[in-house]
Structure 1
Amino acid sequence: MIKKIGILARPCTEGIEPIMKDVIEWARRNGIELFFDLEAAKNLGAEGLRREILPEKSDLIIAFGGDGTILSIAPECAIAKKPIMGVNLGTLGFLAEFGKDETIESLEKIIRGEALISKRTMLEINYKDQSFLSLNEVTVSKAFSTRLIELTVYIDETLLASIRGDGLIFSTATGSTAYSLSAGGPILEPSLECIVMTPICPHTLSVRPIVLPPTAQIKLECNEAEDEIYITIDGKFRANFSKDTFLYIKKSNHYLLLVRSFKKGFYELLRDKLRWSGKLIG
């Protein structure tokens, strides 16, 4: 039963106040306690909490913004096993499925126990003494140099390849419609439990994306001494990848519980977001 809801908002979002006030009034009528992150609280003149502690205090998280807003709190939601509902205030997005105009109607269905939950695979990334969770992808790429970098990939301790190019992307099925797609990776239905390795501008054209099983244990070795190489997780810089060190990637035991739209499924989202419904001209 949902009695406490945590609300977070993308910074500097115009026009968010009306829908936030509608949610506050709806919560008051239904006896639901609300918690706000610091950004949402700033828009309302209310007291706020640090974003990362919202999931442990809430039964449901509502993210007002876009996919990036959901990504910013996905690890904490997954660890706390709390569902998250994304209200899209941006443009292209596959995670924030709800429009502003359907927020209250959808919340009514959710508190009646009618929520549609999509269980999303996450990645666990370990580097030196640091550990991270990722909903979309981990990217290993060159920083500012125009030189190629070389990365050696092992799968289950078996050498796969030493790949020269601009870097590598390791994504979940959820992340297959993000950076991996831009780099030529395949689109995967988000319920699939797998890991996609997508090369970024490989020097050898025979190096292609590969879909790995959920049991795959990935080890990545840096072969470069001179250039800066970045480890980026869900769009955030996390560490410099040093020569002769190893990055480990595997499927996490944690899953994100994403509340799905009541109006559109994944294939309808694909058609709309990627504009596959238009007619060819010519």
Structure 2
Amino acid sequence: MSLPSEPLPIARKKGQPLRFAHVAIIGKYQAPGSRDAVEEVAHFLHDVGCEVSLEQDTALNTGLLQYPALDVPAMGSACDLALVVGGDGTMLGIGRQLARYGVPLAGINQGRLGFITDIPFDSYREKLRPMLYGEFEEDPRALMAASVWRDGRCVFEATALNDVVVNRGGVASMIELRVEVDGHFVANQRADGLIIASSTGSTAYSLSAGGPLLHPAIGGWVMVPIAPHTLSNRPIVLPAHCEIAVEIVSGRDASANFDMQSLTSLLHGDRIVVRRSEHTLRLLHPVGWSYFDTLRKKLHWNEGG
């Protein structure tokens, strides 16, 4: 990937200050070509007038050591914007960590789907430049606070942006789960597992398991059984303020997954508790962004019509 011989002209109103003066870049450093992509974006930000830092793993794995390398707490205290150059998985990983600091995030898509990293790499310059001067749309996304309880004590805690999934093990048999909402018994469910997804996660595993799409403005949860034994066991949409508890009743080698974080070998009697996190992800989009445009493009609606 070659850099332009001369910087592109910067379109700005006279005297208009940068809204985001210090930008941290988080890259999908495992992917081929990521170093060149991160370096190009860093050059662009520098030409605009931004102070540029790299997330520490991005800096180490790309070898771009001419920029300051910051860990998450340092990014949270020093940076005005976190810019993900990668895919939705990269955004999920850093978004969970930065949400507590209130740092907004934007995503340049180098992945496959790009539901939340929605700025195309081939047009990031014209999309990102006005955002740096304050022309953007903010899209708050709810986070899930999850915990695993065993014998009355918490043994694991995690934050999730997409979903919390309780799965059966590798043995070809179902698990039985007792489900409660706000302390009220819902049902004992026999299935391959259960997905509790946010509106952001409604386009992920939940969708492939037959769950509904939730507009981000709803902010609630969807609870979706995976291959339930009882076919009348259907997905249900729940308000965001409720607390969901899932207890392992029977089944072998059950596990819980919180986005990309896993806890294996759950025991009978373990309870997975999910509630809304006190933190919210501040996701930024270019002006004119539409959730429905994203769905239509990513899900290939209206093709062949």
TM-score for both structures, normalised by structure 2 = 0.85
**Aligned partner of 2:246 among 212, 220, 223:** 220
1:164 deviation in Å?
Answer: 0.3
Over 3 Å counting, the alpha-carbon distance change for 1:52 and 1:177 in structure 2 is farther
Find the aligned partners of 2:116 and 2:232 in 1 and give their Cα distance: 32
Aligned to 1:12: 30
One-letter code aligned to 1:171:
A
One-letter code aligned to 2:254:
I
Aligned to 1:104: 125
Query: 2:105 touches 2:283 (CA, 8 Å); kept in 1?
Result: yes
For the pair 1:74 / 2:95, whether they are aligned, the reply is yes
Deviations 1:49-88 (A, max 9, x none): 4456533331111111110000111122211111111111
**Aligned partner of 2:269 among 239, 244, 247:** 244
**Aligned partner of 2:292 among 254, 267, 271:** 267
Q: How many residues are aligned here?
A: 279
More deviation, 7-16/131-140:
7-16
Aligned to 1:27: 45
More deviation, 56-65/165-174:
56-65
**Aligned partner of 1:113 among 127, 134, 148:** 134
One-letter code aligned to 1:122:
L
Deviations 1:24-48 (A, max 9, x none): 2233234322221244323243163
More deviation, 6-15/266-275:
6-15
Query: 3-state DSSP class of the match of 1:189?
Result: coil
Query: 3-state DSSP class of the match of 1:277?
Result: coil
Query: 1:141 touches 1:167 (CA, 8 Å); kept in 2?
Result: yes
For the pair 1:210 / 2:236, whether they are aligned, the reply is yes
1:239 deviation in Å?
Answer: 4.6
Aligned to 1:257: 282
1:132 deviation in Å?
Answer: 1.7
Query: 1:52 touches 1:73 (CA, 8 Å); kept in 2?
Result: no
One-letter code aligned to 2:51:
E
1:101 deviation in Å?
Answer: 2.2
Aligned to 1:95: 116
1:17 deviation in Å?
Answer: 3.8
Query: 1:166 touches 1:200 (CA, 8 Å); kept in 2?
Result: yes
For the pair 1:138 / 2:164, whether they are aligned, the reply is yes
Query: 3-state DSSP class of the match of 1:138?
Result: strand
Find the aligned partners of 1:12 and 1:132 in 2 and give their Cα distance: 24
Percent of residue pairs bearing the same amino acid type? 31
Deviations 1:154-211 (A, max 9, x none): 1111110000010000000111000000000001111211010000000110000000
The 5-angstrom pairing of residues 58-207 of structure 1 reads 58-128=79-149, 129=154, 130-207=156-233
Query: 2:128 touches 2:286 (CA, 8 Å); kept in 1?
Result: no
TM-score for both structures, normalised by structure 1 = 0.92
Query: 3-state DSSP class of the match of 1:271?
Result: helix
Query: 1:118 touches 1:258 (CA, 8 Å); kept in 2?
Result: yes
How large is the Cα RMSD of the aligned pairs?
A: 1.9
Larger Rg: 2
Find the aligned partners of 1:115 and 1:238 in 2 and give their Cα distance: 38
One-letter code aligned to 1:93:
G
Aligned to 1:2: 20
Query: 1:221 touches 1:247 (CA, 8 Å); kept in 2?
Result: yes
Query: 1:6 touches 1:57 (CA, 8 Å); kept in 2?
Result: no
Deviations 1:240-273 (A, max 9, x none): 4221121111112211111124354111111111
